[in-house]
């Protein structure tokens, strides 16, 4: 991360990440596509090159959405006993929509937390 010379009031990382806004000013958009991070903030010019959310959001999404969808599908199977085609018709789209929406939200929150805590790759001091 480059040295931050601008003076911006601190923003809440969870609310800005949830809305997909810039972690420094809270105004500009963080994403240029649905899951693609923009190169920089249009409002304050912050370079998003520091962003490295990695697999963190995806792992959390798999755990959360998998648990929710599996629990509902098992309940439906035991209680209602629908045919297999209905399971596919219900649970595959639900898991896809929930997974994509939650991935965007968690990715935004993780990037905002990275900026706030000045997180960067680990270094080994061999001095």
Backbone torsions φ then ψ of 21, nearest 5 degrees: -105, 170
pLDDT value, residue 65 = 96
**How many domains does the chain fold into?**
1
8 inside domain: no
Could you read off the pLDDT tens digit of each residue along the chain, which spans 127 residues?
A: 556 555 788 899 999 999 999 999 999 999 999 999 999 999 999 999 888 888 888 999 999 999 999 999 999 999 999 999 999 999 999 999 999 999 999 999 999 999 998 887 767 777 6
105 inside domain: yes
40 inside domain: yes
User: Are 46 and 40 contacting, i.e. CB atoms less than 8 angstroms apart?
Assistant: yes
102 inside domain: yes
Distance CA 35, CA 23 (A): 16
Distance CA 62, CA 95 (A): 9
Q: How far apart are the first and last CA of the chain?
A: 23
42 inside domain: yes
54 inside domain: yes
80 inside domain: yes
Half-sphere exposure of 106 (CA within 13 A, CB side): 19
122 inside domain: no
Distance CA 47, CA 38 (A): 9
State the residue range of the domain holding 35. Answer: 13-116
pTM reported for the whole predicted model? 0.81
């Amino acid at each position: 991360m480059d040295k931050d010379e601008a003076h911006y009031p601190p923003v809440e990382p969870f609310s800005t990440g949830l809305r997909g806004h810039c972690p420094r000013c809270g105004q500009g958009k963080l994403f240029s596509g649905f899951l693609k991070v923009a190169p920089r903030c249009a409002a304050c010019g912050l370079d998003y090159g520091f962003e490295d959310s990695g697999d963190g959001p995806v792992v959390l999404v798999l755990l959360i959405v998998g648990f929710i969808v599996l629990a509902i599908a098992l309940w439906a199977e035991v209680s209602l006993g629908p045919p297999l085609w209905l399971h596919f018709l219900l649970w595959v789209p639900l898991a896809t929509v929930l997974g994509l929406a939650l991935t965007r939200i968690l990715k935004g929150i993780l990037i905002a937390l990275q900026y706030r805590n000045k997180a960067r790759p680990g270094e080994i001091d061999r001095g």
